[in-house]
Structure 1
């Protein structure tokens, strides 16, 4: 059941952007299609406007402990960050997302940069295609 829901998340994310003429939408389709063979089942994609949000299976882009966020900022700059929910001192409820690490990439290198942060999110080695 969870595997089917995770596969549907990939389909839904790709379908959301496929027919949009915006450059950010087209980059998202390219990234999702390039990442899917290696990362489906290991991470779950969600969307927020033109941002891609990756979490572990069982989480969503809006209910998570950690997520990777991908944003096309300009023609030659993609922002990729790993965020983590951090508890408040003396409490157990989250204070909100904190950027743990991140980088900028050119669109042609974005897949590699995203994968480096997905490895931190999902753990283990990069999945083989």
Structure 2
């Protein structure tokens, strides 16, 4: 916000900000640039949500090589040493997981907005 100006972001823009920050954090940790990204999404998303995630990747600028659901990502991480995977199907509780991450992201942006703009949005249900 500048001189009382209100900036409105669409969900894809917010997701792009998160993707950008996550990529920067990963690059700092690894000590090298990342050229291709794999983005995970909750297992219960429908096609339009996957497309919105792809759009966020385009806005953020990284090359999103693949978008996979979180249960598949967990299976890949568990068997990473096997090198090749063929996902035949996924099944399970599509509402399980992700809430801890969502909470941390929300807390991060509450602090960020308070620090940068001097606004406390933690009490505004509409903002959260």
TM-score in terms of structure 1 length: 0.27
By relative contact order (CA 8 Å, sep 6+), the higher-ranking structure is: 2
Normalised to the residue count of structure 2, the TM-score between the two structures is 0.27
Higher alpha-carbon Rg: 2
Higher helix share: 2
More strand by share: 1
